Chain A
């Protein structure tokens, strides 16, 4: 079956750096997405990776290794507003999006 694994919950300190990992086993690969979802709100797009390597966008970066079935989202200079769930999603060979259950990130002062 197809599977996306992310840690359920992580805690980090304001101003620090945190890395949220995502491993996947899917039928083919046509891109990986990261979304942010604040509690009670809609998911919002953060990043898209289709080739190996690092994509940087301000304080957020996303890395992909297709050979390892692995991605991470790196958040730098953490702010309290970064407290949210982070969703990893992979598009498989049928172009279906497979979603992970999300990682709840708690930021402490």
Chain B
């Protein structure tokens, strides 16, 4: 693995189902993030983690949860998917937290469709 790996790359999901998007990084970055990207809108932060064991809410956290049990993994869970959660989800990491100057490294994205 080199960089950030997301899985699945694409998924079609029935409304009401539970779904976990996986994210793993091998760069030993402290900070990790989940964004969603929708047509015509900028990237919107869902949740973030500045270091293992801590998480925080971003701009659009409702309906999503995260955990950060270790440095490498940062899964995003949709407890009960709704059609408005249809989007492309990007996981990202940086070697500094939100107040650092570090660039973000993004995974390839997970395209989720909720029917």
Contacts and interface: CB of A to CB of B under 8 A. Distances in A.
Contacts of A30: 99
B103 A45 contact: yes
Contact of B90 (A4, A43, A89): A43
Contacts of A101: 40-42
A4 B106 contact: no
B22 interface: no
Contacts of A87: 42-43
Nearest to B90: A42
Contact of A48 (B97, B103, B106): B103
A48 B101 contact: yes
Interface of A: 4, 30-31, 33, 35, 41-45, 48, 50, 87, 89, 91, 95-102
Nearest to B109: A42
Nearest to A35: B104
Contacts of A43: 43, 90, 104, 106
Interface residues of B, number: 20
A89 to B, nearest CB: 8
Interface of B: 40-45, 58-59, 90, 97-99, 101, 103-109
Given A41-B108, A42-B107, A44-B106, A99 B101 contact: no
Nearest to B106: A42
A24 B103 CA distance: 19
Contact of B101 (A42, A50, A97, A100): A50
Nearest to B91: A42
Contacts of A95: 97-99
Contacts of B90: 42-43
A19 B43 CA distance: 22
16 contacts: A4-B42, A30-B99, A41-B108, A41-B109, A42-B106, A42-B107, A42-B109, A43-B43, A43-B104, A44-B106, A87-B42, A95-B98, A96-B59, A96-B98, A97-B104, A99-B42
